[in-house]
Amino acid sequence: MSATDRGALVSRLEEIDASLCLPATLKNPPMIRSLTEERAGLAKLLQVLDAISSTETSIIEMKEALSDDDEELVEMARAELPELDEQMNALHEKLKRLLIPPDPNDSRDVIIEVRSGTGGEEAALFAAEVFRMYSSYAQKKSWSTEVFTSSGSERGGFKEVVFAVRGSGVYSRMKFEAGVHRVQRVPATETSGRIHTSACTVAILPEAEEVEVQIDPEDLRIDVYRSSGPGGQSVNTTDSAVRITHIPTGLVVSCQDEKSQHKNRVKAMKVLTTRMYALEQEKENAKRAKARKSMVGSGDRSAKIRTYNFPQGRITDHRIGLSLHSLKDVLSGDLDQIIEPLIEAEQNRLLAEVSASGS
């Protein structure tokens, strides 16, 4: 990138800073998010460009020093040049990655839906472990979590749990968790010691603002009822649970964890808004179906992405062929050892696509 390009970057940063101070922008959370995300990306780009310029100057100076009469200066230049060349290569690699078009949802918070799949009670218990794994990971990242709704099983598992995770760049990392998670282990109820296979599904939805999704109140059917616990027993004497049906799409959202009907309704609307936003995103993704199939983090809920093998203490991510014997650590929230390689694989794929389109 030239000095002209750098000037354009600085100019755009100044424009963004001015826009972020406007009253109209301050009243528009999606615009604030978009501008803040763009600003962060441009600032990183500018930092790398300045580092490249500085390194180029140092390389020129060291090459000039090679012809100096001072032998000590020549030796110093010979010693520093390889290090500077290596530094320059790293900076150019970083620049390439920064020029990859970002996922527009990367800075968003997420709503995660974990549901037990095949395996009955064992699947529900595993779903609860996956929920705890994400909660621990969020805590390590200084993210916050909020349970919207849950449906428990007889032995303390989850048939379903829907919760939000909020913080810096949540979607950029959690998007890789969408899909089928399979577990292989001996259930506590198994007397013969046979290994069972069960599964749970994970949906990662970028959280949407209400202003981004237009919902006609006339399209909603809202039902209230008494909340229930495992086995169906009533856990509340008032009709605090809320079920909202969006008639045109058939989407149904239920929330019962709060004692207040109003709070359950607010949470249910948040989940409904996010699911409708996700539907719009899927329509957009369908236009790029070929590219989407090749993505590491495609969000395909039917794809088996990972196996948790308890007898061998092994966890395998099938998308990149990564196997680690650190199952206990991962379940305790040390997910970065899987997510980082997934991010790298996705960036390498995108870099290859950019290179192919430019050739």
Q: What are the residue ranges spanned by the domains of the chain?
A: 3-98, 110-208+297-351, 212-283
Please tell me the predicted confidence (pLDDT) of residue 292: 41
What do you get for the CA distance between the two ends of the chain, in Å?
Answer: 18
Please tell me the predicted confidence (pLDDT) of residue 55: 95
Please tell me the predicted confidence (pLDDT) of residue 353: 78
Fold of 110-208+297-351: Alpha-Beta Plaits (3.30.70)
Rounded Cα gap, residues 2 and 319, in angstroms: 38
**CA distances (Å), origin 215, targets 174, 271, 277:** 27, 13, 11
Mean pLDDT by 10 residues, the chain (359 residues): 75 94 88 85 91 94 90 91 94 87 86 92 94 97 93 89 93 94 85 84 88 85 78 57 92 88 91 90 66 46 85 95 96 97 91 70
Please tell me the predicted confidence (pLDDT) of residue 228: 67
Please tell me the predicted confidence (pLDDT) of residue 110: 95
Q: What is the number of other CB atoms lying within 10 angstroms of the CB of residue 45?
A: 19
Tell me if 197 sits within 8 A of 183, measured CB to CB: yes
DSSP letters of 21-79?
A: TSHHHHT-HHHHHHHHHHHHHHHHHHHHHHHHHHHHHHHHHHHHHTT-S-HHHHHHHHH
Whether pTM exceeds 0.85: no
Domain spanning 212-283 has what CATH number? 3.30.160.20
Tell me if 158 sits within 8 A of 116, measured CB to CB: yes
Please tell me the predicted confidence (pLDDT) of residue 295: 46
Please tell me the predicted confidence (pLDDT) of residue 83: 94
Tell me if 180 sits within 8 A of 201, measured CB to CB: yes
Domain spanning 3-98 has what CATH number? 1.20.58
